[in-house]
Amino acid sequence: MSSQASSLHAWLTSETPTSRRQARWAAVYKGWLSLKSNHMAMAGLAIIIALITVAALAPWLAPHDPFVQDLGNRLQPLGAEGHVLGTDSLGRDILSRLIYGARITLYIVALVALIAPIVGLLVGTISGYAGGWVDLVMMRITDIFLAFPRLVLALAFVAALGAGIENAVLAISLTAWPPYARMARAETLTIRGSDYISAIRLQGAGPLRIITKHIWPLCISSLIVRVTLDMAGIILAAAGLGFLGLGAQPPSPEWGAMISEGRRFLLDHWWVATMPGLAIFTVSLAFNLLGDGLRDVLDPKDSSS
């Protein structure tokens, strides 16, 4: 077992990789090692893994059904019998709702993290690579979306499609992609002019191949860093929509909606809003810590000193 592990370690850290695959894995491994030495980032990663576990095991972990109401037993304080984190306005167990809510949070985060950067990457690289009129038109469109008050755009979108978690995700993605497009375009412009892309072009590679095989991989690392750092913003934006009643619909235990429901009791029953607030805070913090660490690893500019 240990000899196997050490030989894997040797293979991954070999100074003279024998295959392209080995070289690629070695680079990933090196990044992992440097990430591992960053305690804060590891703490973030641990929280995120814990969140995923909790979401996956929600039915087994939750002490109560998150939807069952008990009007006679509402607004119970922390540590009440059978309700560690108390109960909400309709007498539902807050801990169970938080646990089930983790699924919704993950769902939002995963969807937005898939949609926004990919749209941005597409628009940005095509615009940057094609140049000329295509660039001009696409960048004007990007500008329009950037100049739009973000919440208005999201609100309008949600209002048009109807409130609900999927539409909230779409709306957030709609407001989130322009910065990625800007970024991908800037990277593309730098890469496009480089010698090695010219070399590939001379070898007869078409634009599609150059973009997908050579430009995208180079943009990805900075995108990942940015997405991770934006993750907190995404969770908070979803919570903000929930606060305005346009996010997840009742009785869904989405954390933002839970804060919104509980904020009426903030002065007397502070835990009802504070517990989901803490949950959002913890997860956002985790993503930020991880993003910060990833930046140090992936972003060469920052890790040089």
Partner 1 sequence: MRAQRTFVKRQPQLPLPPWVRGLVITLFSISITMLGLLLVTFLIGRVMPIDPVLAVVGERASQEQYDAVFKDLGLDKPLIVQFFYYVSDVLRGDFGQSLLTARPVADDIARVFPATFELATIGILLGCILGVPLGVIAAVRRGSWIDQIARVVALVGYSMPIFWLGLMGLLLFYGILGWVGGPGRQGIFYEDMIPSVTGMILIDSALARDWGAFWDAFSHIILPASLLGYYSLAYISRMTRSFMLEQLSAEYVTTARVKGMSEWAVIWGHAFKNIRVQLITVIALSYANLLEGSVLTEIIFSWPGIGSYITTALLSADMNAVLGGTVVVGLVFICLNVFSDLLYKFFDPRSK
Partner 2 sequence: MSYFRKLMATAAMGVAVGVTALPVIAETPANMLVIANRIDDITTLDPAQSFEFAGSDVLRNVYGKLVNFDPNNLDAGYQPDLAESWTVSEDGKTITFTMREGVKFHSGNPVRAEDVAFSLKRVVLLNKTPSFIITQFGFTPENVDETIVVDGNTVSITTDKRYATSFVLNCLTATIGGVVDKELVMANEVDGDMGNTWLATNSAGSGPYSLASWKPKESVTLNANADYYGGAPAMKRVIVRHVQESATQRLMLERGDIDVARDLNPSDVEGVRAAEGVEILEEMRGRLMYIAASQKHPELSKPGVRQALKYLIDYEGMQNSFLKGAYVTHQNFLPKTYLGAVDENPFSLNLDKAKALLAEAGVDGMELTIGVREAQERLEIAQSLQNTFGQAGITVNLEVGTGKQILGKYRARELDIYLGAWGPDYPDPHTNAGTFAYNPDNSDAANATGLLAWRNSWDTGGLTEKTAAAVVEGDRSKRAEMYQGIQAQFRDTSPFAVMFQKVEQAGVADNIEGLNLGGAITAVSYWTVTK
Whole-number Å distance between alpha carbons of 57 and 100: 9
CB of 162 to partner 2, least distance (A): 7
The pattern of x and - marking residues 214 through 233 that bind partner 1 according to CB under 8 A reads ------------x--xx-xx
Which residue, among 294, 296, 290, has the nearest Cα to 46 in the 3D structure?
Answer: 290
Asked if 64 interacts with partner 2 (CB under 8 A), we say no
> Quick one: which segment of 22-30, 85-93, 203-211, 267-275 binds partner 1 (CB under 8 A)?
267-275
Token pair recorded at residue 11: 């293979």
The 3-class secondary structure across 197-225, one letter per residue, is HHHHHHCCCCHHHHHHHHHHHHHHHHHHH
**Cβ atoms within 10 Å of 250's Cβ, excluding its own:** 12
State the Cα–Cα distance between residues 222 and 288, nearest whole angstrom: 15
Q: State the binding partner of 29 from partner 1, partner 2, none, CB within 5 to 8 A by kind.
A: none
Question: Which among partner 1, partner 2, none contacts residue 93 (Cβ within 5 to 8 A by kind)?
Answer: none
Q: Residue 249 carries which DSSP code?
A: P
**Contact partner, 249, from partner 2, partner 1, none, Cβ < 5-8 Å per class:** partner 2
**Cβ atoms of 223 and 161 closer than 8 Å:** no
The footprint of partner 1 (CB under 8 A) covers 40, 131-132, 135, 139-141, 143-144, 146-153, 155-157, 159-160, 162, 175-176, 178-179, 182-183, 185-186, 189, 226, 229-230, 232-234, 236-237, 239-240, 243-244, 256, 259, 263, 266-267, 273-274, 277, 280-281, 284-285, 288-289, 292, 295, 301-302, 304-305
